[in-house]
Amino acid sequence: MNSSDLKMFAAFVSQRMEMSESEWFIKPESINNVFNPVSSLPAGSEKKTLYKKKEDIIYQNKPDSSLEPHTGKTVGNDSITAQNPLEELYEAVHGCTRCQLGLTRNKFVFGDGNPQADILFIGEAPGADEDKQGLPFVGRAGKLLTKMIEAIKLKREDVYIGNILKCRPPGNRDPKPEEIEKCEQILIRQIEIIKPEIICAIGRISGQTLLRTKSSLSSLRGKLHDYHGVKLIVIYHPAALLRNPGLKPAAWEDMKFLRREYDGMEL
Ligand code: SF4
């Protein structure tokens, strides 16, 4: 074993000890980057370092419509290889068992959509349908979310959709603080890569979690917030609209506010 092999082996062992479980990551150096994105930055530099302008993104080959949905992985074109940072991130974390949810999930739900999206929708966690399919917002609520996006004259493929937690909490219970603390690091890396213009937190728990507040949904909606230097708004969760259709007029106001804050379009 040469010194380079030894170094790699030491990194693996160190990672195993840190993770306290049996998952082996394909790229040991990547996982360290994923789970220490903010702490490794000099104080006060998060915004500047985490959220570069879109034009600073360098793709060897620009992603196109042949992307696989959940990873941004490029298929069907040999000249376009694994240069997509979202794919690299997926490869690094899709076997994660940093919290107990990694042991009970059926499928890891990374996220889905345009890896260069201007608008990033973030829910709290996958539900039963998402856990089965490995894709976010694919059940009844997901279909309604697609309609809400189309109502503001965008397509679902234009945006990126993800969750704070990548694994389903059993019984759809609320995420626990320790789960959020561990999993949000992946989300922060996704935001760093996608560099959205605006984040749309879907529902009360997503808004409260991202903004570290206990404020009510009604007090969070209709306002512009800040999440690590990115504009953030909070909207009704489509599941709430399915339970209570009377909320739909207010939800429409949320979506119009999103479009207005994104590019000034009045609907
Ligand atoms: S919820 Fe997040 S931190 Fe927990 S196992 Fe799944 S990916 Fe890892």
AA letter at 37: P
DSSP code at position 72: -
Taking CA atoms only, the protein residue closest to ligand 1 atom 2 is 183
Beta carbons within 10 angstroms of residue 216's beta carbon:
11
- Residue with structure tokens 């106001």? 253
CA–CA separation, 247 and 105 (whole Å): 32
Which numbered atom of ligand 1 lies nearest the CA of 99? 4
| Ligand 1 contacts CB of residue 94 (under 6 A) | no
Q: Is the CB of 125 under 6 A from ligand 1?
A: no
pLDDT (0 to 100) of residue 36: 55
Q: What is the predicted pLDDT for the residue at 6?
A: 53
Compute the distance between CA of residue 182 and CA of residue 165 in angstroms, rounded to an integer.
9
| CA–CA separation, 11 and 199 (whole Å) | 35
What residues contact residue 62 under an 8 Å CB cut-off, 6+ apart? none
In this prediction, residue 76 carries a pLDDT of 36
Among the atoms of ligand 1, which is closest to the Cα of residue 103?
5
Tell me, what amino acid is at 138? Answer: V
Three-state secondary structure call for residue 263: helix
CB 100 within 8 A of CB 149: no
55 pLDDT above the threshold of 50: no
- Give domain 104-263's CATH superfamily: Uracil-DNA glycosylase-like domain (3.40.470.10)
Domain boundaries, given as residue ranges, for the chain: 3-86, 104-263
Per residue in 96-152, pLDDT tens? Answer: 999 999 999 999 999 999 999 999 999 999 999 999 999 999 999 999 999 999 999
Q: Is 101 near ligand 1, meaning CB less than 6 Å away? A: yes
pLDDT at 230 exceeding the cut of 70: yes
Q: Which atom of ligand 1 is nearest to the CA of 97?
A: 5
Would you state the structure tokens that stand for residue 75, as one six-digit string? Answer: 């298929």
183 ligand 1 Cβ < 6 A: yes
Structure tokens at 227: 């999440």
pLDDT at 32 (0 to 100)? 54
Residue 152 near ligand 1, beta carbon < 6 Å: no
Cα of 84 to ligand 1 centre, how many Å?
Answer: 22
List the structure tokens of 80. 């376009």
Measured distance CA(87)–CA(93) in Å, rounded = 10
